[in-house]
Structure 1
């Protein structure tokens, strides 16, 4: 008869065990704790007062959140449950069990401090020589907001609903003024119905106010662009003495448009096109990734659907990093980031741009891989120099790294770590969560790159 290992759940252990004995030496949880406890978290520690109940140490809460995000646990309730069920989380939490409200409050309260921890982790990577941080690849990905696109309300639809509700209010008030109560249906309370409609009217009025404020900002921006175009045309006429052909710039129209929308659940999110077709309520997650180590160097969340306006602010964030981290000499990005101003901005910052001007055709002739472009004229423009550089063998090889650098990072974050939707709402909270996601990815990646 085959013999099996005995199954005995009743006999007590002879000696108490330590959680140190349950995790392997190279476990990710050990590495996260090691790195986080080596960071300067004095800003987090000093934020706690000397009164109230005894708090959990911020180093333990931060390590618990990072490990949770690195292993696909984003909900504070799931992380709390893991402190009971997961040996790794028990190890990080020192056999304590911070509740989900503590974890959620910590994540929301210290979102700005996460950015400082993010930079310190990059400095740890630099000290361990995981990368020289000599170049960056820039790309963006749409991440679902914690809101449904079906909760979006357009300005035109808001006005239609508002008129309908106001008519119902008048009808209910007229019904209430009648002395014959027999006309009121059974179970209906006129004051409750009026209160419900007044609440909806107040919510619609607030939404219309926000849409109007956005429209005013858009008009100011479009008016400035319109005046700049007129000034450029006037300068060109003065320089050449000839009338400019074509259609003159059209003046922008003030006020909200009928199709201007706002989401009633998260009014700072936007409807964006997503991969595979269709539109969803999303934020645009931007990341600068180091091609040598695949570490995220700069993480930013924006509301803009288009990536073209993100080069300058991302460059500013890159240059704001400590000296040993902002020494990138080359930036690669796809055609969604191309514009003349972006090319000039890169060269002004001392960074060589490799931004695709347009989409390359599939399956080019084999000879194009070995063909070198002709020499440029000395008076070539920045765009011409960059286009020529992209056609060289070195330029093609450098640009090819983009697809195998930043896109796999987004793929692993979404498909392996499972992060496809923000849990928080509002741009500031979402920015803190995206920083936490990229921080978790960096530590997960550094654990692989470290000497085993």
Structure 2
């Protein structure tokens, strides 16, 4: 006869008397608490006025958020529930239960301070010699905004709806002024219907104003680029050289019919996503250390194109503390390539290895063992980079890009489950992305630490 372990739900059990006995020594929650409580959080603690009931300590709330994001629990309501259901969350919360409003308010109120904690954690990694931070990879990934693309409104469609609503309001006003209202259907409240349409008209007017402001900024930017290109052509013509290509077309002022704004999160944008199609997204950028796979600089932009992101990301790296701010080499794919970006890296004493084009699929196997002929004569920085990418050492270095920054995005999305921002607005989204990358770094550091 088979023997089974008894099922007994009636016997009373006691948890260990100390929270220190709840988790094994190597548990991620312990590591998160140890690191966070060693950080300088004086900027957070000073923000509390001391009025009312005693507040939860910022170190505990920050640890709950970091561990939550690291383990796929992003919602403040789920984190609150986990402080009852999960021993790890109970350990972090010291058997207390901050409610979801407290957690959500802390995340919104102190989002700007997450960047300081992020930098301090990188300093901890450097002090523990987890990496030399010599070669870094740059890439971007589209992450869904907390808004649907079906909530987007184009300028052309807004004008059609606006005209229709204005006509309906005029029709209802005439009916309301008429002495005989027998043509009004039964149950129709004309003042309420008029008020509802006037509110929609006000919302459409605000949306159109924002689209027009964006169109003005775009025109000023495009006009400056147009004038710079024309100045370059005139300089070439003055030296007797014929400028190549057709003359650039001057930009058109004013909004276009297809210009859109999202009524839920007007800072998000319609972007092309992997696998085809378009979604309401933000473009999340990250500079990743190739040795440790730690994120060194997170950023979020509204631009769907990556080409203009090298300059702000290099600036973010160089703003880091001593020992973190001077990588020797930057790897990036062809979406980041431009002569301007190559020159920018060279000026910052960073060797760029940015793919200047897409490689052919299935090259001959001997190509992997060939070395290009050395450069003869003076060569531009772009030509030097192209040559370096063809060498064995350059190909081996560039190959690190795919096995560092792309796996980081894959783990963040698939393992940590972060595929959509919870917050809205560009600044809030940037703060949340910093929190996500902070959680990833601590998760990664827990693996890299000496056991």
Tell me the TM-score normalised to structure 2 length: 0.98
1:203 aligns with 2:203: yes
By how many angstroms is 1:246 displaced?
4.3
Aligned to 2:358: 359
Unaligned ranges ≥5, structure 2: none
Q: Equivalent residue for 1:346? A: 345
Structure-2 separation of matches of 1:428 and 1:392: 42
**1:396-439: CA deviation from partner (whole Å, max 9, x where unpaired):** 00000000000000000001111000000000000010000000
Question: What is the distance in 1 between the residues matched to 2:20 and 2:3?
Answer: 32
Alignment partner, residue 23 of structure 1: 23
User: C-alpha deviations, 1:301-335, integer Å up to 9, x for none?
Assistant: 00001000000110000000001111200000000
Q: State the Cα distance separating 1:379 from its structure 2 match.
A: 1.2
Q: Using the TM superposition, give the Cα deviation of residue 54 of structure 1 relative to its aligned residue in structure 2, in angstroms.
A: 1.2
Which residue pairs with 2:379 in the alignment?
Answer: 380
Contact kept, 8 Å, 2:146 with 2:422, in 1: the verdict is yes
Determine if the alignment matches structure 1 residue 179 to structure 2 residue 179.
Answer: yes
Question: 2:332 corresponds to which residue?
Answer: 333
Question: Residue deviations 1:208-257, cap 9 Å, x none?
Answer: 000000000001011111111111111111112x5546422211111111
Q: CA RMSD in A?
A: 1.2
Match of residue 7 from structure 2? 7
Asked if residue 428 in structure 1 is aligned to residue 427 in structure 2, the reply is yes
Query: What residue in structure 1 maps to residue 83 of structure 2?
Result: 83
* Cα deviation 1:97-147 (Å, max 9, x = unaligned): 001011011001111100000011111111111101011000000000000
How far the C-alpha of 1:451 sits from its partner, in A, is 1.4
2:243 & 2:273 partners in 1: Cα distance? 40
Residue equivalent to 2:235: 235
The structure-2 alpha-carbon separation of the partners of 1:293 and 1:246, relative to structure 1 and needing over 3 Å to count, comes to: closer
Q: Indicate yes or no: 2:390 matched with 1:391.
A: yes
CA distance in 2, matches of 1:71, 1:381: 47
| DSSP 3-state at the match of 1:395 | helix
Residues 280-301 of structure 1: CA deviation (Å, up to 9, x unaligned): 0000000000010000000000
CA contact (8 A) 1:19 1:87 kept: no
How many angstroms apart in 2 are the aligned matches of 1:375 and 1:364?
A: 22
Once the two structures are superposed, the pairs formed by residues 380-419 of structure 1 within 5 Å of their partners are 380-419=379-418
Moved over 6 A (4+): none
Matched residue of 2:105: which SS? helix
Which residue of structure 1 aligns with residue 267 of structure 2? 268
In 2: Cα distance, 1:228 partner to 1:334 partner: 27
What is the distance in 2 between the residues matched to 1:98 and 1:425? 23
- Deviation, 1:20, is 2.1
Gaps of 5+ in 1: none
Q: Which residue of 1 aligns with 2:120?
A: 120
| Matched positions, count | 451
For residue 12 of structure 1, give the secondary structure of its aligned residue in structure 2. Answer: coil
Is 1:61 the counterpart of 2:61 in the alignment? yes
**In the alignment, which residue of structure 2 is the partner of 1:288?**
287
Distance 1:184 1:2, change over 3 A: same
CA contact (8 A) 2:83 2:95 kept: yes
Contact (CA 8 Å) 1:141, 1:284: kept in 2 or not? yes
- CA apart distance, 1:150: 0.6
Residue in 2 that maps onto 1:167 = 167
The change in CA–CA distance for 1:5 and 1:198 in structure 2 (over 3 A counts) is: same
Q: Distance in 2 between matches of 1:76 and 1:264?
A: 24
1:16 Cα deviation from its structure 2 partner: 5.7
Structure 1 CA distance for aligned equivalents of residues 216 and 8 of structure 2: 72
Q: CA 1:14 to 1:295, structure 2 compared with 1: closer, same or farther past 3 Å?
A: closer
Distance of aligned partners of 1:16 and 1:143 in 2 relative to their CA distance in 1, 3 Å threshold: closer
Instruction: Give matches, 1:308-319, under 5 Å.
Output: 308-319=307-318
Q: State which drifts further: 13-22 or 52-61.
A: 13-22
Please give the alpha-carbon distance, in whole angstroms, between the structure 2 residues aligned to 1:15 and 1:220: 66
What pairs up with 1:433-444 in 2 under 5 angstroms?
A: 433-444=432-443
Q: Compute the TM-score of the two structures, normalised by the length of structure 1.
A: 0.98
Cα distance in 1, alignment partners of residues 9 and 280 from structure 2: 50
Q: Report the equivalent of 1:50.
A: 50
- Distance apart, 1:43 and its partner CA: 0.4
Residue 50 of structure 1 and its aligned partner are, at CA, apart by: 1.6
Q: 2: CA distance between counterparts of 1:29 and 1:378? A: 58
User: In the superposition, relative to structure 1, how do residues 61 and 343 fare at CA in structure 2: closer, same or farther (>3 Å)?
Assistant: same
Report deviation, 1:367: 1.4
- Cα deviation for residue 4 of structure 1 reads 3.4
Whole-Å Cα distance in 1 between the matches of residues 15 and 83 of structure 2? 22
